[in-house]
Amino acid sequence: MPSDPTWDQVVACVDLPAKPNGPPPATGAVAEAADSKRAHPRTSLPAWGILRHNKQLFGAYLCDVSRSGLGFYSPVALIPPATVEIWLPNGSRLEVVVKRCIRHAKDRYRCGAVHVGHADS
């Protein structure tokens, strides 16, 4: 988890399993199902980021990104079509609209969102 001063303001952080199942996440292209309806291919992006929702900051774990969307784990349920801000590790801030949010465990929700633009600083 990052040690950036912004992390001191995080209210809650997603609870990831200590030993995830399967091999460690790899970077690069993500395989798509033959019947995938995705407009753009995904690229794996295993990294910590910050989620801003209702003026609060949360620790989120980014999974994948594409030209049109982003997949991530959130410590809080985000009811579609919530608009949230995601702060990427490179300092970019994206405004996204949540399209799906599925609970995987306590304090762990798998979310999918589409980009609506760059967020104002």
Q: What are the tens digits of pLDDT across the range 109-119?
A: 999 999 997 76
For the chain, the average pLDDT equals: 82
Q: What does the block give as tokens for 23? A: 């091999």
CA dist 85 and 87 (Å) reads: 7
Tens of pLDDT, residue by residue over 86-112, are 998 888 899 999 999 999 999 999 999
How confident is the model at residue 55, as a pLDDT? 93
- The confidence score (pLDDT) of residue 117 equals 79
Read off the tokens for 115. Answer: 């980009």
Cα(43)–Cα(29) distance, integer angstroms: 4
The dihedrals phi and psi of 8, each to the nearest 5 degrees, come to -70, -20
* pTM (predicted TM-score): 0.79
Contact (CB, 8 A) for 66 and 43: yes
Confidence label for 23 from pLDDT (cuts 50, 70 and 90): very low
